[in-house]
Each structure stands twice: as structure tokens, then as C-alpha cells.
Amino acid sequence: MEHHDMPVRTAPGKLIDGRAFAAGICTEIAREVSDLHARHDRVPGLAVILVGDDPASDIYVRSKVRRTMAVGMRSFAHRLPAATSQVALLDLVATLNADGDVHGILLQLPLPGHIDVKAVLDAIDPAKDVDGFHIVNVGKLGVGRDDGFIPCTPLGCLMLLRAELGDLSGLHAVVIGCSNIVGRPMAQLLLRENCTVVVTHINTRDVAAETRRADIVIVAAGHPGLVRGSWIRPGATVIDVGINRIHDDAGSHVVGDVAFSEVRAVAGAVTPVPGGVGPMTIACLLHNTLRAARAVIENAKT
């Protein structure tokens, strides 16, 4: 940790390689899956539900299915038309809740507008809610209990932070964005790590004034180039959760919420996009699915 205030650096900040970290986690998960199979003759299973034909969601679901199978788990993909009724969706959730081969259920978001997202999320068995979006799991995280499921993206960010910084106790963390899938659970997790946590949002008067005090900046705003070099305290660790698809002369590519080269010049360490948080999200989904499966398989009487 640096204690001087002058933004003078001789080398750019470290790149945090989320892709390599995620690959390591997946190797470990694959070993545990095969171990579980050897001991109990059972294999973890993850069901993914996709409603509609949003192209980005389609790509994410394909990638989740591929990685699920790559670690030796069973993958059950349910692709439903955009016009699927809420009743039909609740029916599918009930079927998956009752299916002993399914240990985790992921309902890909966003859903079409006619569906009540809360009602469907809360119909998922909390013990199979590997996304950590069920109100019971949200509540467990909110009171600092560790027996619920933690949403995959914030969990991935926390793993990267712990690997980078070790004990986070007492560090000043600023979370930009307060969505239910990233910002809010991220803030709860950092609080659980004994960080001092500031959450900024659309009505925050001066976000840069907040981030300039931060040892840790986590940005999940969906706004390319939002975080500038001048916003960052020298030596701070910056985690970029943004995924923004940009179309320009060079074609289509993905960028984060951080003005990358500027921020890297000041930060102690920063995650790239792609290759940072994204791969960690999927690794944590498999981590949560393994946990869900173990709870069932290792406690089964037969």
C-alpha cells in the first residue's frame, strides 16, 4: 500500500488476470467433481433457463453450458420463447426444484417485460439458487451469514481482491453502482470483510471525490470510460465490472467502465475487460453449483 499522495509512478499498475485465476478455480472444481463422482457416483447438475432470444444472453448461456460440461458437471439448458407465460416459467422452476439431478438453477436475466422477475426468482429453491438472487440468500448476505449463496460477480470480485490485497480489513472501498446483481451484494460482501464501504449511484453528487479516497474501487455502472485516471488514488486497486459492446471502425469489441490506460497509469492494479471479472463470474457459478451439489450428495443417506 502506498501512502504518498503524488500521482508519480514509474511503471503502470499490475494487470489482474481474471482469466488465469478463473482457469485455476475451474481446474480445482473439475478435480472435486471427479472426486465426488468417485465417492458417491453422483455428478453435480446445473440448469440454465433462458427466456427469449436476446443475442448477448444467448452467448452467455452458451458459454455457461460449455464451462459447466468442461468441469464434468451435467448441464440442462432450457430455452423458452419470449412469449412464455409466467405460469409456464413457474411450472418449469417447480419441475427443476423437484429434480434430484439438478443441484443449481440459474435464471438468465434480463427477462421479457411481462414476467414478474421477483416472483420467479423467489420460486427457486434457495438451496438451488446458485446465483444468490433469492430473497433468502439476499437476506443471509445482508446479515453477514455465510450459509447462503453469494452472487457470482461480486464473489468473483472478492476473490480477486483477496488474492491481490490479502486481508481487506480497514480498507476504504468505493462501489460505483447499486444494482441488485452487483453493487449492493458487493457492498455487503466488503462490509463483511470489514472494509469501510461507500456506494455511489445516479444521484451521487461527486463520485470522483469519493473514489479519490478509495483503496479499492469497484465499478459496475455500464458506462464506458466513466472512471478516469484523475479519479484514482495512486496505488489503488480497481475492479472493472462493466461489459459494454462498442461498434467502431475496428468492428465490434467489449470495453469496461474504466478509461483503461489512464487508470492503469495511476492504479496499483486493475482488471482488464475482457479477461478480468467476466471469466470469474462463470467460475463462481460453478463454485456455487459444486457447493449446492455437495450439500445434497454428501449428506444423502444412501
Ligand X SMILES: Nc1nc(=O)c2c([nH]1)NC[C@@H]1CN(c3ccc(C(=O)N[C@@H](CCC(=O)O)C(=O)O)cc3)C=[N+]21
Binding residues for ligand X, rule: CB under 6 A, are 60, 63, 106-109, 131, 152, 243, 254, 273-275, 278-279, 281-282
Q: Which is nearer to ligand X, 150 or 199 (CB)?
A: 150
Q: How far is the CB of 243 from ligand X (least distance, A)?
A: 5
Which residue out of 128, 129, 131, 257 is catalytically annotated? Answer: 131
Residue 202 annotated as binding site: yes
Query: Do residues 221 and 240 lie in contact, with contact meaning Cβ atoms separated by under 8 Å?
Result: no
Query: Do residues 287 and 29 lie in contact, with contact meaning Cβ atoms separated by under 8 Å?
Result: yes
Bridge partner residues of 240 (DSSP)? 219
Q: Which is nearer to ligand X, 215 or 240 (CB)?
A: 240
Query: Do residues 189 and 150 lie in contact, with contact meaning Cβ atoms separated by under 8 Å?
Result: yes
17 catalytic residue (yes or no): no
54 catalytic residue (yes or no): no
Q: Which is nearer to ligand X, 20 or 209 (CB)?
A: 20
Q: How far is the CB of 63 from ligand X (least distance, A)?
A: 6
At a CB cut-off of 8 Å and minimum separation 6, what does 9 contact? Answer: 234, 265, 266
Q: Which is nearer to ligand X, 109 or 165 (CB)?
A: 109
At a CB cut-off of 8 Å and minimum separation 6, what does 220 contact? Answer: 153, 175, 176, 177, 179, 182, 183, 186, 241, 242, 257
**Closest residue to ligand X: CB criterion:** 278
Which residue out of 5, 17, 41, 108 is catalytically annotated? Answer: 108
Q: How far is the CB of 97 from ligand X (least distance, A)?
A: 16
Q: How far is the CB of 273 from ligand X (least distance, A)?
A: 6
Which residue out of 64, 128, 140, 215 is catalytically annotated? Answer: 64
Residue 179 annotated as binding site: yes
How far apart, in whole angstroms, are the C-alpha atoms of residue 252 and residue 171? 37
Query: Do residues 44 and 91 lie in contact, with contact meaning Cβ atoms separated by under 8 Å?
Result: no
Q: Which is nearer to ligand X, 8 or 250 (CB)?
A: 250
Bridge partner residues of 174 (DSSP)? 198, 217
Going by C-alpha positions, the residue among 170, 126, 167 that lies closest to residue 148 is 126
3-state secondary structure string, 74-128? EEEEEEECCCCCHHHHHHHHHHHHHCCCCCEEEECCCCCCCCCHHHHHCCCCHHH
Query: Do residues 210 and 241 lie in contact, with contact meaning Cβ atoms separated by under 8 Å?
Result: no
For the record, the C-alpha cell of 184 comes out as 449492493
188 catalytic residue (yes or no): no
Residue 218 annotated as binding site: no
Q: How far is the CB of 64 from ligand X (least distance, A)?
A: 7
Q: Which is nearer to ligand X, 214 or 273 (CB)?
A: 273
Q: How far is the CB of 234 from ligand X (least distance, A)?
A: 26
Going by C-alpha positions, the residue among 135, 18, 111, 128 that lies closest to residue 76 is 128
Residue 178 annotated as binding site: yes
Strands 216-219 and 172-176: parallel
Catalytic center residues: 64, 108, 131
Binding residue ranges: 177-179, 202, 243
Binding residue ranges for NADP(+): 177-179, 202, 243
